[in-house]
């Protein structure tokens, strides 16, 4: 049987696909190869995946909605789906709001409709985000907390995904699990993330914009821990019974909230470059701190993050230098 991975040319999508392939699964990846960031990086990720005989790729744009469902239906033997395709980025959503409803809402609906028509679907795992917690001040963030006050459109679309998923689990009995990712980083990462932009600016001698004047914390989560967690969740679908829909939400993070300036100092040690800090006010749509309560995912599937920021950042730096050398 085969696993469908949407957003396979993305950062998390590539690593999840590779982990599945290493585990002996057949993977069909789809992606629209959007120009949100460097398409050459996405192509390079696909080149890595194409080294596996059990990987195949289709360029499809889920934001086309209902019209894309027949194309998805042509993919044979799908038993599990990992939906990671999304328009990411809190700040970008302030300037390009329609991109988010088309990709994150319409695109997710296309996947739900596709999965509704599959005869042998065992589990659909989809990407949510820690951004849904919005301005919550109770830490660590728990899946039991209310997430009804998003502070960005990106977060609102991810909350919409969770609501849509529950309705399809309830109506059609589709086993669905949403994962709220917390600040994922590592090799083959996204160029719009702080750890990447900071690395570039430090190597070029440019100042680093430090928002909220450094009073920021993030639950930085290394990509290998994320991929391992996704596979563990995928293998354990929620049970369909008369008491509740087969639906769950988990936080997936490192369960460690690190000051932003710890990221800077770790990069300084890895790059052997002193950072020039430019203190800035808080940005619209941003939050001061994220911190994941991972007890439910740890209890249910044995998820246990193993990589600290001090271990993970040097691995990213090593990859970054190698990648830039071409």
Which residues are annotated as catalytic?
154
Query: What mean pLDDT comes out for the span 95-103?
Result: 92
Residue 118 inside a domain? The answer is: yes
In whole numbers, what is the pLDDT of the chain averaged over residues?
94
User: What distance in Å separates the CA atoms of residue 316 and residue 278, rounded to the nearest whole number?
Assistant: 23
User: What distance in Å separates the CA atoms of residue 8 and residue 315, rounded to the nearest whole number?
Assistant: 22
pLDDT attached to residue 263: 96
State how far the alpha carbon of 8 is from the alpha carbons of 45, 61, 133, 203, 289, in Å.
9, 12, 26, 29, 29
pLDDT attached to residue 197: 96
pLDDT at 311 over 70: yes
Residue 210 inside a domain? The answer is: no
- Could you read off the pLDDT of 171-221 as tens digits, one per residue? 999 999 999 999 999 999 999 999 999 999 999 999 999 888 878 899 999
Residue 195 inside a domain? The answer is: no
User: What distance in Å separates the CA atoms of residue 194 and residue 317, rounded to the nearest whole number?
Assistant: 13
- Could you read off the pLDDT of 113-159 as tens digits, one per residue? 999 999 899 999 999 999 999 988 899 999 999 999 998 999 999 99
Residue 26 inside a domain? The answer is: yes
Confidence band (pLDDT; 50, 70, 90) for 285? low
Q: What is the CATH number of the domain that holds 96?
A: 3.40.50.720
Residue 123 inside a domain? The answer is: yes
pLDDT attached to residue 214: 79
Cβ contacts of 43 within 8 Å, gap of 6 or more: 9, 33
pLDDT attached to residue 92: 82
Task: Read off the pTM.
Answer: 0.95
Least confident range of 15-19, 70-74, 252-256: 70-74
Residue 205 inside a domain? The answer is: no
Name the residue range of residue 118's domain. Answer: 2-184+221-255+290-306
pLDDT, greater one: 283 or 128: 128
Closest C-alpha to 301, from 250, 254, 253, 257: 250
Residue 117 inside a domain? The answer is: yes
Domain tally for the chain? Answer: 1
Residue 38 inside a domain? The answer is: yes
> In the beta sheet, which residues pair with residue 3?
27, 80
Q: Tell me the percentage of the chain whose pLDDT exceeds 70.
A: 99
């Amino acid at each position: 049987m085969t696993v469908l991975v949407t957003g396979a040319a993305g950062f998390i999508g590539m690593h999840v696909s590779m982990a599945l392939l290493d585990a002996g699964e057949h993977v069909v990846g789809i992606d629209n190869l959007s120009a949100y960031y460097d398409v050459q990086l996405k192509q390079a990720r696909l080149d890595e995946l194409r080294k596996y005989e059990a990987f195949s790729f289709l360029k499809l744009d889920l934001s086309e909605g209902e019209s894309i469902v027949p194309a998805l239906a042509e993919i044979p033997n799908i038993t599990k789906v990992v939906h990671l395709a999304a328009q990411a980025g809190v700040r970008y959503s302030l300037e390009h709001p329609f991109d988010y409803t088309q990709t994150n809402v319409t695109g997710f609906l296309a996947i739900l409709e596709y999965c509704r028509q599959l005869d042998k679907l065992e589990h659909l795992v989809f990407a949510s985000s820690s951004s849904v917690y919005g301005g919550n001040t109770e830490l660590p963030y728990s899946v039991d907390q209310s997430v009804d006050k998003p502070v960005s459109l990106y977060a609102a679309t991810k909350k919409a995904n969770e609501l849509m998923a529950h309705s399809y689990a309830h109506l059609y009995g589709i086993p669905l699990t949403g994962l709220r990712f917390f600040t994922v980083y590592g090799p083959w990462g996204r160029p719009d993330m702080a750890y990447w932009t900071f690395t570039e600016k430090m190597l070029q001698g440019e100042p680093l914009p430090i928002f909220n004047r450094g009073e920021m914390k993030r639950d930085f989560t290394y990509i290998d821990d994320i991929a391992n967690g996704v596979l563990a969740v995928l293998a354990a679908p929620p049970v369909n019974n008369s008491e509740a829909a087969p639906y769950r939400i988990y936080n997936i993070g490192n369960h460690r909230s690190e000051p932003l300036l710890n990221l800077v100092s770790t990069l300084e040690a890895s790059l052997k470059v002193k950072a020039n800090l430019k203190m800035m006010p808080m940005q619209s749509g941003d939050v001061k701190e994220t911190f994941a309560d991972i007890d439910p995912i740890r209890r249910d599937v044995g998820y246990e993050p193993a990589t600290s920021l001090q271990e993970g950042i040097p691995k990213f730096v090593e990859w970054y230098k190698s990648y830039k050398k071409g």
